[in-house]
Amino acid sequence: MSQQIIEKLKAFKVIPVIQINDVSQAVPLAKTLVENGLPVAEVTFRTEAAAEAIRLMREAYPQMCIGAGTVLNAEQVDRAKEAGSEFVVAPGLNPNTVRYCQLQGITMVPGVNNPSQVEQALEMGLTFLKFFPAEASGGINMVKSLLAPYVDVSFMPTGGIGKANVRDYLAIDRVICCGGTWMVAPTLIENGDWEEIGRLVREAVELVND
């Protein structure tokens, strides 16, 4: 199952990491992503609205690839899965949460930024990992350094990635996709500026598929 998710994310190349404060923003945002060529979202559990936002997006656009981000415990895994998330992403690697996801049969992408964490993930059978926080953890050089000894590992760098550097990350072998907020900035979502979000999404799609 997780291989299918990885293939989907690989095809998108860039994954909008979304913070929704008000559930009424969920469907218009999903519509904007779908209509501008990026039908994928990682909705972060940083706000109370997250689970309901995922549910509404899933109902309105069943074809979308939707995951939950900033998932820190089993209770959030349950809420994410119930709402219709296909995968969950965490900022770090919590073995308890990973095992719970494995029991529930939902794809888990934990965050790592050093060799020990990579080895811990491998020990639990995980090879697709989030490299986070990417820029603050050494950026492209660190990604290359970590991928070199771990030939089965692939990464989704997230954190500090934007228009200026996304292509440099994607150029690295086994960087499957990158997470980014620049095309879905919280202020744009708050203001309902769907036109500007649409423009930035189209620009991002062109940029990574050039």
Tens-digit pLDDT profile for residues 110-140: 999 999 999 999 999 999 999 999 999 999 9
Q: Is the peptide bond prior to 133 cis by the omega test (within 30 degrees of 0)?
A: yes
Answer whether residue 39 is part of any domain: yes
What does the pLDDT read at residue 2? Answer: 84
Q: Average pLDDT of 142-150? A: 98
Closest CA to 159 of 126, 120, 205, 113: 113
Of the listed 31, 48, 130, 195, which one is catalytic?
Answer: 130
Asked if 190 contacts 28 with a C-beta cutoff of 8 angstroms, the reply is no
Q: What is the pLDDT of residues 166-199, one digit of tens each?
A: 999 999 999 999 999 999 999 999 999 999 999 9
Give the domain extent around 168. Answer: 2-204
CA–CA gap between residue 20 and residue 155 (Å, rounded): 25
Which tokens go with 102? 């494995």
Burial class (CB in 10 A: 0-12, 13-18, 19+), 178: buried
Q: In this predicted structure, what is the pLDDT of residue 53? A: 98
Confidence of residue 70 (pLDDT cuts 50, 70, 90): very high
> Is cis: bond before 95, omega within 30 of 0?
no
Q: Is the pLDDT of residue 62 over 70?
A: yes
Task: For residue 76, give Cα distances in angstroms to 44, 46, 57, 155.
Answer: 11, 11, 18, 23
> Looking at residue 1, what is its pLDDT?
54
Question: Which one-letter DSSP state was computed for residue 80?
Answer: H
Percentage with pLDDT > 70 across the chain: 100
In a domain, 210, yes or no: no
Which of 42, 82, 135, 206 is labelled catalytic?
42
Domain count, the chain: 1
Question: Residue 210 — very low, low, confident or very high, per pLDDT cuts 50/70/90?
Answer: confident
Question: Percentage of the chain surpassing pLDDT 90?
Answer: 99
CATH number at residue 119: 3.20.20.70
CA dist., res. 154 & res. 202, Å (int): 26
SS3 150: coil
Q: Is residue 209 part of a domain?
A: no
130 among known catalytic residues: yes
Average pLDDT over residues 70-74: 98
- Is 98 part of a structural domain of the chain? yes
- What residues have CB less than 8 Å from 65, skipping those under 6 apart? 5, 8, 9, 12, 39, 40, 41, 86
Does any domain span residue 65? yes
Centroid of chain to Cα 78: 18
Q: What is the mean pLDDT of the chain?
A: 97
For strands 107-109 and 111-112, give the pairing. Answer: unpaired
- Asked if residue 78 belongs to a domain, the reply is yes
The Cβ-side half-sphere exposure at 71, using a 13 Å CA radius, reads 32
Q: What is the DSSP letter of 202?
A: H
140 CB-near residues (< 8 Å, 6+ apart): 165, 168, 169, 172
Find the mean pLDDT for residues 155-164.
Answer: 98
pTM beyond cutoff 0.85:
yes
Does 42 qualify as catalytic in the annotation?
yes
Would you say residue 11 has pLDDT above 60?
Answer: yes
Contact 140, 172 (CB under 8 A): yes
The predicted pLDDT at position 137 comes to: 98
